[in-house]
Amino acid sequence: MIYFVMLMLMCFIIGLVGVASNPSPYFAAFGLVMSAAIGCGLLASHGTSFLSFVLFLIYLGGMLVVFVYSAALTAEPYPESWLDWPVLVNVMMYLLGVGVGVYYFFGEWNMMHWMGVDELNNFSLWRGDLSGTSLMYSDGIMLLFLAGWVLLLTLFVVLELIRGLGRGALRVV
């Protein structure tokens, strides 16, 4: 299992290198989808299956669909992939930086980092993350109201930002 988690950590970094190395937004969105899926696997490997599920639903189901739609809206005729020359230079530079970091910290690498949230893990329906996140409805109720208020405020901000009849995206340029 620990080798599988190391593989997932490596693929997480590679996905974010693919986002950060400035390709066209199609490929960057693909890298972010890969990193989000692997992050779900990482959280599930630590036992927090509910938060992994939330991450999967919100990122891959909500936000990244919107991102892919916006990438299609602002389309470019010749997209740059990771194999084109300036992007490839960035990828190599970032991977070299990560490799230097691994080499620097490899002596004090602590492999015994495995902590789950399962105290009673034999046929238990009550995992630690479920009891932790349900505190949002009792003790953290003010935070819940704050998050709801911020979401409502964002709705008005978005409506105000894209308002306007004479300068719509679908006009004939």
Partner 1 sequence: MTPMHFTFTSAFILSLLGLTIHRTSLLSALLCLEGMMLTLYIALTLWSVENSSSAYLMSPLILLAFSACEACTGLSLLIATTRTHGNNHLQNLNLLQC
Residue 90 as a binder of partner 1 (CB under 8 A): the answer is yes
Check residue 151 for interaction with partner 1 (CB under 8 A). yes
Q: In degrees, to the nearest 5, what angle opens at C-alpha 44 toward C-alphas 43 and 46?
A: 65
CA distance 29 to 36: 10
- Positive or negative, the Cα torsion across 149, 155, 158, 162? negative
Six-digit token string for 86: 């300036």
Q: Which candidate, 43, 47, 42, places its Cα nearest to that of 127?
A: 47
- Measured over the CA atoms of residue 166, residue 167, residue 170 and residue 171, the dihedral's sign is positive
Binder to partner 1 among 83, 84, 101, 120 (CB under 8 A)?
101
- Of the residues 4, 105, 120, 121, which one makes contact with partner 1 according to CB under 8 A: 105
Interface of this chain with partner 1, residues 153 to 172, rule: CB under 8 A? 153-154, 157-158, 161-162, 164, 167-169
Site string for partner 1, 50-89 (x = CB under 8 A): -x--xx--xx--xx--xx--xx-xx-x-------------
Site string for partner 1, 14-53 (x = CB under 8 A): --xx-xxxxxxx--xx--x--xx--x--xx--xxx--x--
Binding residue for partner 1, selected from 6, 7, 65, 89, defined by CB under 8 A: 6
